[in-house]
């Protein structure tokens, strides 16, 4: 088999066989196939697409390129949730303990954030003492005992994806649905979940800006998951404005605590209940989404969800008392309000730009080497559709620097107040299930 012929075949719009796809992924991962041939194939795939069979085959080939995690020693159906991008997306922090409180096992491998999207581990490290450096047997034991644990990226999972993603990043081939879908799904499958709930974001703060592209990506991932034997479904949710009100690590943990008590922002609560209901049904703990939702709401009200969060934190060295007293987390030195320049209805809060403003304060990493400030961030006092008086605070800046003028300027540029009444945007744009 020759790489040249595989490139030519895809260039001409033909489908590749599983042998050809395996040849490429194996050869590229071990260094036999050079970068220039791999980039030519990525560009051919970008233009010619892949059919469902090819998408499933490239995903499986990437899973087989490295180690996989065996979660079979954990009792029950392991359901993983994955959100594609997003700004101020606190859902994982909430969903973990929330579904665990209904004995749905959550065995989560998580990463750190880069750019305007925050990572779950960074957020959790705002809890003093909390760490994810646990070994695999402890991880399994914790999930069996508490039904929830989060571990850092361990082992050599999907090396083919790591190498290919790096290549795509510099060859303008990231934005290809078969390549994004196989990249994300290979990581989820290698991490061992039995069932997968995808939260595919759409809008300014998302990978896919248009609803049409977001639906196509969601369908591609759901088809791959089900083809390779993992029960997979997707919810498409709005990411034009940041989710919830808090953006920043300790601030988002506080927001998670509020939400677990049933006192969180409306949109964040709704998305968590939507995704959580799907997880509970896939795990076989409820027969219908309505029944699952009722169970989740009950555990928010009766304190069980919050209690589970505290247990989870203290089991991994964290100070579990933060669930009663969030001020035990790092606190910013300065609180600065952003007053509205005129009265009206908030019509736009551009998610990715707001995320960048939070990063400028130190809440996110500009490069892999950046050290983040866990205390700083933003808190939206107004969301799209809200009325604001002139001079009333649009949002609060939590900073560890006195001068926040450049951040304020960026925020003003990306928050629009209009005279006309604006409706709150639709949060859930639909869901996609396997055939």
Site residues for Ca ion per CB under 5 A: 88, 90, 244, 246
Q: How many residues bind ligand URA (CB under 6 A)?
A: 7
314 binds ligand URA (CB under 6 A): no
CB 85 within 8 A of CB 208: no
Please give the residues from 186 up to 225 whose contact with ligand URA meets the rule CB under 6 A.
207
Catalytic residue among 78, 108, 187, 382: 187
Provide, rounded to whole angstroms, the least separation between the CB of residue 347 and Ca ion.
20
Nearer to ligand URA, 92 or 183 (CB): 183
Provide, rounded to whole angstroms, the least separation between the CB of residue 280 and ligand URA.
26
Say which entry of Ca ion, ligand URA, none residue 3 contacts (CB below 5 to 8 A, set by partner kind).
Answer: none
Other C-beta atoms closer than 10 Å to the C-beta of 344 total: 18
Annotation marks residue 403 as catalytic: no
25 binds ligand URA (CB under 6 A): no
Nearer to ligand URA, 169 or 291 (CB): 169
CB 423 within 8 A of CB 236: no
Nearer to Ca ion, 80 or 252 (CB): 252
Instruction: Kindly report each contact of residues 139-146 with a partner whose C-beta sits within 8 Å and lies 24 or more positions away, as own/partner.
Output: 139/107, 140/71, 140/73, 140/74, 140/107, 142/315, 142/316, 143/74, 143/105, 143/106, 143/107, 144/73, 144/74, 144/75, 144/105, 145/315, 146/100, 146/308, 146/311, 146/312, 146/315
Provide, rounded to whole angstroms, the least separation between the CB of residue 101 and Ca ion.
21
Beta bridge partners of 107: 149
Catalytic residue among 161, 194, 238, 373: 161
Provide, rounded to whole angstroms, the least separation between the CB of residue 271 and ligand URA.
20
> Given CA atoms 320, 324, 328, 330 in this order, what sign does their dihedral have?
positive
Other C-beta atoms closer than 10 Å to the C-beta of 167 total: 18
Please give the residues from 158 up to 177 whose contact with ligand URA meets the rule CB under 6 A.
165, 174
The string of DSSP letters for 213-241 reads HHHHHHHHHHHHHHHTT-EEEEEEEE-SS
50 binds ligand URA (CB under 6 A): no
Say which entry of Ca ion, ligand URA, none residue 88 contacts (CB below 5 to 8 A, set by partner kind).
Answer: Ca ion
Q: Helix, strand or coil for residue 250?
A: helix
233 binds ligand URA (CB under 6 A): no
Neighbouring C-alpha atoms within 13 Å toward the C-beta of 390: 4
Interface with ligand URA (CB under 6 A), residue from 7, 56, 167, 180: 180
Annotation marks residue 82 as catalytic: yes
Provide, rounded to whole angstroms, the least separation between the CB of residue 85 and ligand URA.
7
* Closest alpha carbon to 217 in 174, 165, 169, 180: 180
Provide, rounded to whole angstroms, the least separation between the CB of residue 4 and ligand URA.
25
Annotation marks residue 183 as catalytic: yes
CB 306 within 8 A of CB 314: no
183 binds ligand URA (CB under 6 A): yes
**Tokens (6 digits) for 277:** 């209901």
**Catalytic residues, which ones?**
82, 161, 168, 183, 187
* Binding site residues, ligand URA, CB under 6 A: 165, 174, 179-180, 183-184, 207
């Amino acid at each position: 088999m020759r790489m040249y012929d595989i490139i030519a075949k895809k260039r001409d719009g033909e489908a590749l066989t599983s042998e050809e796809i395996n040849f490429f992924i194996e050869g590229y991962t071990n260094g036999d196939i050079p970068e220039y041939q791999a980039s030519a194939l990525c560009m051919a795939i970008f233009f010619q697409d892949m059919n469902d069979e090819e998408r499933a085959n490239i995903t499986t080939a990437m899973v087989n390129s490295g180690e996989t995690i065996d979660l079979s020693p954990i009792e029950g159906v392991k359901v993983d949730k994955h959100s594609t991008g997003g700004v101020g997306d606190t859902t994982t922090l909430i969903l973990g303990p929330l579904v665990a409180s209904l004995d749905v096992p959550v065995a989560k491998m998580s990463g750190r954030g880069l750019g305007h999207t925050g990572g779950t581990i960074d957020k959790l490290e705002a809890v003093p003492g909390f760490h994810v450096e646990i070994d695999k047997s402890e991880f399994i034991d914790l999930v069996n005992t508490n039904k929830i644990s989060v571990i850092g990226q361990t082992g050599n999972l999907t090396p083919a994806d790591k190498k290919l993603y790096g290549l795509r990043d510099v060859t303008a081939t990231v934005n290809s649905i078969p390549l994004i879908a196989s990249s994300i799904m290979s990581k989820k499958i290698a991490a061992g979940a039995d069932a997968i709930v995808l939260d595919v974001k759409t809008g300014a703060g998302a990978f896919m800006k248009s609803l049409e592209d977001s639906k196509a990506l969601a369908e591609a991932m759901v088809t791959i998951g089900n083809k390779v034997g993992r029960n997979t479904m997707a919810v498409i949710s709005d990411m034009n404005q940041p989710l919830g009100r808090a953006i920043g690590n300790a601030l988002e943990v506080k927001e998670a605590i509020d939400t677990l008590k049933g006192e969180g922002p409306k949109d964040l609560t709704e998305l968590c209940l939507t995704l959580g209901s799907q997880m509970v049904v896939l795990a076989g703990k409820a027969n219908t989404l309505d029944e699952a939702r009722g169970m989740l709401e009950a555990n928010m009200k009766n304190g069980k969800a919050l209690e589970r969060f505290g247990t989870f934190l203290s089991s991994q060295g964290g100070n579990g008392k933060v669930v009663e007293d969030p001020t035990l987390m790092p606190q910013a030195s300065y609180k600065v309000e952003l007053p509205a320049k005129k009265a009206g209805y908030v019509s736009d809060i551009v998610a990715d730009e707001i995320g960048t403003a939070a990063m400028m304060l130190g809440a996110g990493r500009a490069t892999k080497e950046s050290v983040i400030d866990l205390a700083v961030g933003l808190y939206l006092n107004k969301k799209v559709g809200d009325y604001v008086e002139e001079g009333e605070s649009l949002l609060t800046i939590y900073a560890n620097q006195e001068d926040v003028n450049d951040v304020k300027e960026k925020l003003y540029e990306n928050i629009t107040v209009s005279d006309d009444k604006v409706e709150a945007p639709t949060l859930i744009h639909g869901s996609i299930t396997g055939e």
